Amino acid sequence: MSVSDWAGSFGNWRSALDELKVFIGPAFKRSEQQLSAGAFIDGLLSGAERKTGWMLAEEAGLARPYRIQSLLGRSSWSADSLCGQVRNYAVD
């Protein structure tokens, strides 16, 4: 099986990624945090060579990295809750 065969069998990866973002949303208290988390995930999965705050923000279409930096450094959310959400998603 070639890589192209495998990639084609996955189906619509974008809708699956959007579904994951909705699924983990409750781990973040505010809608802004949920949007920033989605942008962060998109940036991590992007083709950016370096995954800095600036690069992730640029990949997400943001003018500055403050939303990404705030999510990682100043926002209040539970890493344990997020880990549990991701674990449940992977098991389902």
Mean pLDDT per 10-residue segment, the chain (92 residues): 49 80 88 89 84 86 87 84 87 82
Domain boundary assignment for the chain: 14-91
3-state secondary structure of 6: helix
Q: Quote the radius of gyration of the chain (alpha carbons, Å).
A: 15
For the entire predicted model, the pTM comes to: 0.74
Give the number of other CB atoms < 10 A from CB of residue 79.
8
Give the number of other CB atoms < 10 A from CB of residue 75.
16
Residues 6+ apart with CB under 8 A from 4: none
Q: What is the pLDDT of residue 7?
A: 56
Length of the chain: 92
